[in-house]
């Protein structure tokens, strides 16, 4: 396989977009292209990550539309959908286009405009990834699945609501240092858990998960430019190499898993990514995990191999995963506070890690980060993509 590098990264501020869908994509794409500073090197492929524009925004074939807006003719283009893991799936498809030799430079842009519809429809839309005959028709939603998962996890491993709140507090604090984050609001244990008014300010969504355990509904776009390592070096860029990509699937219905607290696809995807990169979890300096719900950051931090099963919440409580800790997790603010425009999320994780590896993450910079890891979690863990990026030199 030809080595592939990330040579450009950019994103819009996540939140509520005043722009139409195509402008969101355009702004993030131009930021990444400007960053890549291609000169006369041409983009020959475009991959868009998007989950629901056909339904939410009544637009299809938006990859072709993006080529048109950016005047990248006659670049190849298509969209990739893999639920909330669409972003990393599209990144993988862009990687393969280059690794296979069919393209030299590929733009990967993730986008979602979810606030175009109301919250009830958003919840129904996201639930459309659940099993149509075994989950969806019984009213199962993603918060519902996460609530049941959290309950079992807490009982088995001694995780408490305080631990869940620590994830929110940490990630909100990180997001304060990220100008692209959806939510800029410092939260405290008192404010969301122990004060009497926390009952009102942090209402239950799907017990034991409360509002501050759930990511917001966001609009946003994020983009990276991929190229052969040869082109990256020719352009004189700091090379951020795509060292490993791993993907794995699991049962569609969560209740069919022998042990629903085991996220097998997370474990396998991470193993595959580390194996391809010839690295171990202990080599990672910074990670973005898919904390659509606070419990998921804890569970994923164990399944990918950073901590032993049942130990993730202890590492969290000890500050290991905070900025300044041994392995900062979600320095961007994560889905929890940076936001979760589903198609954009997996790409945005890799935008943050590119910035971290290049030393461009400002106030939230993880010092001297060389190896970075992302986990993009599709379905309720039925399709997971893990990515390892490495700074060369």
Distance CA 147, CA 241 (A): 37
Residue 252 within binding range of a second copy, rule CB under 8 A: yes
| Residues whose CB is less than 8 angstroms from the CB of residue 91 and which lie 6 or more positions away in sequence, other chains included | 47, 49, 108, 224, 226, 245, 346, 347, 350, 385, 387
Residue 125 within binding range of a second copy, rule CB under 8 A: yes
**How many angstroms from the chain centroid is the CA of residue 105?**
22
Residue 116 within binding range of a second copy, rule CB under 8 A: no
Residue 108 within binding range of a second copy, rule CB under 8 A: no
Distance CA 383, CA 360 (A): 31
Distance CA 111, CA 99 (A): 24
β-strands 45-49, 204-206 pairing: unpaired
Residue 146 within binding range of a second copy, rule CB under 8 A: no
| Binds a second copy by CB under 8 A, chosen from 37, 68, 118, 204 | 68
Question: Smallest Cα–Cα separation from 45: which of 109, 2, 88, 89?
Answer: 109
Shortest Å distance, C-beta 244 to a second copy: 11
Question: Smallest Cα–Cα separation from 374: which of 392, 356, 360?
Answer: 356
Determine the size of the site formed for a second copy (CB under 8 A). Answer: 62
| 385 close to 376: Cβ distance less than 8 angstroms | yes
| Binds a second copy by CB under 8 A, chosen from 5, 7, 22, 224 | 22
Question: Smallest Cα–Cα separation from 53: which of 70, 43, 66?
Answer: 66
* Burial class for 201, CB neighbours closer than 10 Å (0-12, 13-18, 19+): middle
Distance CA 94, CA 342 (A): 18
Query: Binding string to a second copy for residues 24 to 53, with x set by CB under 8 A, is what?
Result: ---------------------------xx-
| 147 close to 207: Cβ distance less than 8 angstroms | yes
Residue 312 within binding range of a second copy, rule CB under 8 A: no
Distance CA 14, CA 17 (A): 8
| 242 close to 5: Cβ distance less than 8 angstroms | yes
Residue 251 within binding range of a second copy, rule CB under 8 A: yes
Interface with a second copy in residues 264-303 (CB under 8 A): 264-265, 268
Residue 250 within binding range of a second copy, rule CB under 8 A: yes
Residue 79 within binding range of a second copy, rule CB under 8 A: yes
Residue 237 within binding range of a second copy, rule CB under 8 A: no
Residue 123 within binding range of a second copy, rule CB under 8 A: no
| Binds a second copy by CB under 8 A, chosen from 27, 30, 59, 184 | 59
Task: Closer to a second copy by CB, 61 or 211: give it.
Answer: 61
**Sign of the C-alpha dihedral computed for residues 9, 79, 349 and 4 taken in this order:** negative
| 246 close to 252: Cβ distance less than 8 angstroms | no
Residue 247 within binding range of a second copy, rule CB under 8 A: yes
Interface with a second copy in residues 322-381 (CB under 8 A): 378-379
Shortest Å distance, C-beta 143 to a second copy: 17
Residue 58 within binding range of a second copy, rule CB under 8 A: yes
Residue 179 within binding range of a second copy, rule CB under 8 A: no
Residue 236 within binding range of a second copy, rule CB under 8 A: no
Shortest Å distance, C-beta 98 to a second copy: 8
Residue 248 within binding range of a second copy, rule CB under 8 A: yes
- DSSP string covering 227-286, please? EEHHHHHHTTPPPEEEEEEEEEE--SSGGGSSSTT--HHHHHHHHHHHHHHT--GGG-SE
Residue 99 within binding range of a second copy, rule CB under 8 A: yes
Shortest Å distance, C-beta 257 to a second copy: 11
Residue 74 within binding range of a second copy, rule CB under 8 A: yes
Q: Enumerate binding residues for a second copy (CB under 8 A).
A: 1, 20, 22, 51-52, 54-55, 58-61, 63-65, 67-69, 72-83, 86, 89-90, 92-93, 95-97, 99-102, 124-125, 128-129, 131-132, 245, 247-253, 264-265, 268, 378-379, 382-383
């Amino acid at each position: 396989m030809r080595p592939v590098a990330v040579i450009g990264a950019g994103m819009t501020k996540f939140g509520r977009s005043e722009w139409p869908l195509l402008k969101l994509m355009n702004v993030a794409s131009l930021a990444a292209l400007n960053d890549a500073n291609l000169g006369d090197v041409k983009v020959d492929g475009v991959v868009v990550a998007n989950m629901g524009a056909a339904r939410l925004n009544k637009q299809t074939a938006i990859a072709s539309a993006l080529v048109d807006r950016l005047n990248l003719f006659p670049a190849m283009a298509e969209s990739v959908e893999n639920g909330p893991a669409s972003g990393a799936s599209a990144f993988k498809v862009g990687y393969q286009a280059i690794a296979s030799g069919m393209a030299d430079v590929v733009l990967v842009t993730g986008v979602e405009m979810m606030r175009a519809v109301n919250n009830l429809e958003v919840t129904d839309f996201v639930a459309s990834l659940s099993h149509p005959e075994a989950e969806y028709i019984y009213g199962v939603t993603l918060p519902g699945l996460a609530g049941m998962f959290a309950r079992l996890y807490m009982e088995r491993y001694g995780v408490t609501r305080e631990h869940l709140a620590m994830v929110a507090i940490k990630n909100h604090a990180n997001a304060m240092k990220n100008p692209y984050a959806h939510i800029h609001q410092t939260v405290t244990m008192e404010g969301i858990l122990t004060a009497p008014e926390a009952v009102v300010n942090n209402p239950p969504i799907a017990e034991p998960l409360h509002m501050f355990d759930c990511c917001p509904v966001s609009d946003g776009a994020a983009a990276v430019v991929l190229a052969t390592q040869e082109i990256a070096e020719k352009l004189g860029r700091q090379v951020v190499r795509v060292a490993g990509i791993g993907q794995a699937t699991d049962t569609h219905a969560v209740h069919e898993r022998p042990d629903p607290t085991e996220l097998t696809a997370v474990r396998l995807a991470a193993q595959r990514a580390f194996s391809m990169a010839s690295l171990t979890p202990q080599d990672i300096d910074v990670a973005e995990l898919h904390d659509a719900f606070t419990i998921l950051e804890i569970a994923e931090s164990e399944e990918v191999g950073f901590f032993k099963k049942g130990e993730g919440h202890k590492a969290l409580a000890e500050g290991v995963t905070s900025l300044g800790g041994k392995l900062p997790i979600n320095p961007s603010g994560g889905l929890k506070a940076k936001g979760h425009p589903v198609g954009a999320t997996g790409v945005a994780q890799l935008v943050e890690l590119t910035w971290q590896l290049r030393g461009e993450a400002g106030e939230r910079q993880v010092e001297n980060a060389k190896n970075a890891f992302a986990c993009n979690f599709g379905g309720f863990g039925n399709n997971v993509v893990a990515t390892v990026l490495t700074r060369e030199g």
